[in-house]
Chains A and B, each alone.
Chain A
């Protein structure tokens, strides 16, 4: 599976949008982009995934560039409970997810 690159950490003010970037320049045509988050001492939580179109659900929006080499996860109105490590993962088919270091998002009051 293609590797991803994410910033180590980010801060965001409560109530503002949090935009988390991810680079996946070696992604292949049949690989999906998945986003998960892990709140301290819990199992990872699925957020959203997409192939090439932008996606939105009740948690977040996923914007994938036209060349698919990067994507951005958007949390429209961050709350303190969104403080977590966010993982961007590229996955082919039903293979096991491979976790990198992720981005530690700290939402500030």
Chain B
């Protein structure tokens, strides 16, 4: 399989601050990365899809100005939660997929738990 890492694994921040989460594909080039979030006892919900070098495509109901996504290279995507509020507290998970063979499968990072006080 392929390895996807996320950093940080957990973060606590004050309301109104911004938080950046990094997602890296460690052993393959990720042409497409996906960002999900998961609230307690719920399933994963897709937030946005980003292709390297292009603007992200956001799902309905996800504010693009609040959740800034950058996918500047084939191995790194970042999600910035701007002006975070307690309702943004959630488990954020990134996923990456490559171009061919087994790398067309979506591989997931370990997730980042965000708590906004």
Q: Which A residues are within 8 Å of any B CB, using their own CB?
A: 34, 36, 38, 41-46, 49, 87, 94, 96-102
Contacts and interface: CB of A to CB of B under 8 A. Distances in A.
B17 interface: no
B104 A94 contact: yes
Contacts of A42: 110-111
Nearest to B98: A94
Interface residues of B, number: 24
Contacts of A49: 105
Contact of B108 (A43, A98, A101): A43
B97 A94 contact: yes
B43 A96 contact: no
B49 A43 contact: no
B40 to A, nearest CB: 10
A41 B44 CA distance: 12
Interface of B: 1, 4, 6, 32, 34, 36, 43-46, 49, 91, 93, 95, 97, 104-111, 113
Of residues A45, A46, A87, A98, which shows the largest number of chain B Cβ atoms within 10 Å of its Cβ? A46
What is the interface of chain A mostly: helix, strand, loop, or mixed? loop
25 contacts: A34-B105, A38-B44, A41-B111, A41-B113, A43-B4, A43-B110, A43-B111, A44-B44, A44-B93, A44-B95, A44-B108, A45-B108, A46-B1, A46-B105, A46-B106, A46-B107, A87-B43, A94-B32, A94-B104, A96-B49, A97-B46, A99-B44, A99-B45, A100-B43, A101-B43
Contact of A96 (B106, B107, B109, B113): B106
Given A41-B91, A46-B1, A46-B105, A96 B111 contact: no
A38 B113 CA distance: 15
Nearest to B94: A43
Closest 4 CB pairs of A and B: A43-B108, A99-B44, A99-B43, A44-B108
Given A49-B105, A102-B43, A96 B110 contact: no
Nearest to B59: A96
Contacts of A87: 43
